[in-house]
Amino acid sequence: ERPILLLDAGPAHSRLLERAMFDVPPPPELEIDAVILEGIKQLRIQKRKVGAPAANQVQLQINCVGICGSDMAYWAKGVAGGFVQLDFTPQGLCEGYCGQLGHECSGTVVAVGKDVTHLGVGDRVALEPGVPCADCSQCRRGRYNLCPKMSFIGSAVNKVPGAMCTVFNHAASYCYKLPPHVSLEEGAMLEPMCVSLQAVTRAKVGLGHKVLVSGAGPIGLMTALCARAAGAASVTITDVVEAKLAKARELGIEHTLKADAPDLLAALEALTGGDRFDAVFECCGVPAALRTCIEAAAPGSVVCVVANFGETTPVNLQLAARREIDIIGVYRYCNLYPKALDLVATGKVNLKPLISKIFSMAEANQAFEYFATGEPIKVIIQPNAPKAQ
């Protein structure tokens, strides 16, 4: 017996009634490969399943995934930023974060949900990993990075699996189409760059400012590049690893200093003629470095804490108060992907020299071991190697 359709109900209602009456099964799930952290320093490729994209999602072939410092912390210690200890039990690896790493990513659209109009199959995109609720007080204020209901991929805190896998579904509104001349590798690096942009934006770096960056890792170097793009007159960066300082010089950073030099404060003061720095960014997560940042900051300046600190850190608050130094924090970013993409697309920020090495997904263990040596800047894993442009 054929179902009866209400012809005057409109096409949307007709489709719903047809589906309900015929009991049409959902599209089949795809079996995909994903890099899973099964224990401390134990990565294995496992089979996982992914369904069809929801109405507001796109399905992506993931091309590039950068290894973040938080991924390294999960891999090395089972916890990042002192937040949530990973659960490596069989149950823990089957729910929530489920050991699936990766949030610095880019990919190619292979399917679109029915409500998606601005992206199509074949588009190359960068993924903004955090999808907020859009309804809480922080979202309504425009600070969606602080959304308590945030769905942030690859985060044990938010209990969401990551994108270090072959195929992944993501909200289309948080996917940004890449121009033809911007590579998928650069697209994956927009995520850490947005952390740096958030820091530079919050610290209000502008024309003529003298900037100090503590730590020449990926975030520190990107912060230096973003500060220079914002108009900083000079940028100084410190680190204990000479290879990273050499990379900073290669990028055109004016002043590089060893962070463990016994006369570091005197050298920093000499660089500014005794005036100290207008904006200081702590990007390495070392308590002693944060104390140096406050001591090197000028009266009325800003110290921005970008790095994660795993413990309570003593600082000289009396010095900060006496100089009216504003100490601010950074947690992820908001509304900055378009700006980051524009800076890269126009050549104002060049991310390509930051790539130290690219690995296939089958080489994930080697990639993490390589990054753990301390000298690489940005290591990228490719679940699906990008096609030549």
Please give, one letter per residue, the 3-state secondary structure of 143-199: CHHHCCCCEECCECCCCECCCCECEEEEEHHHEEECCCCCCHHHHHHHHHHHHHHHH
Arithmetic mean of pLDDT, 45-57:
96
Task: State the pLDDT at residue 7.
Answer: 40
Q: How far is CA 32 from the centre of its chain?
A: 23
- 303 - beta bridge partners? 280, 327
In angstroms, rounded to a whole number, what is the distance separating the alpha carbons of residues 109 and 61? 6
> What per-residue confidence (pLDDT) applies to 353?
97
Q: What was the pLDDT predicted at 21?
A: 45
Residue 22 has pLDDT above 60, yes or no: no
What residue type is 123 in one-letter code? D
Question: Within a 10 A sphere around the Cβ of 8, how many other Cβ atoms?
Answer: 7
Of 145, 163, 160, nearest to 61 by C-alpha is: 163
Q: Note whether 219 and 237 are within 8 A (CB).
A: no
What is the average per-residue pLDDT within 325-346?
97
Mean pLDDT over the full length of the chain: 92
Contact 276, 297 (CB under 8 A): yes
Q: For position 82, what pLDDT does the model report?
A: 65
Residue 26 clears pLDDT 90, i.e. is over it = no
pLDDT for 79 equals 87
Q: Give the mean model confidence (pLDDT) for residues 4-27.
A: 47
**Confidence band (pLDDT; 50, 70, 90) for 94?**
confident
pLDDT value at position 134? 95
Give Rg (Cα) of the chain.
23
- The pLDDT confidence band at residue 24, using thresholds 50, 70 and 90, is low
Euclidean distance between CA atoms 291 and 270, whole angstroms = 18
Please state, in angstroms and rounded to a whole number, the distance separating the CA atoms of residues 223 and 216.
9
For range 118-122, the mean pLDDT: 97
Q: Are 119 and 173 in contact (CB under 8 A)?
A: no
Provide the 3-class DSSP secondary structure of residue 259. coil
* Mean pLDDT of the 315-344 span: 97
- The answer, as to whether pTM is greater than 0.85, is yes
pLDDT of residue 90: 85
Which of the four pLDDT bands, split at 50, 70 and 90, describes residue 288?
very high
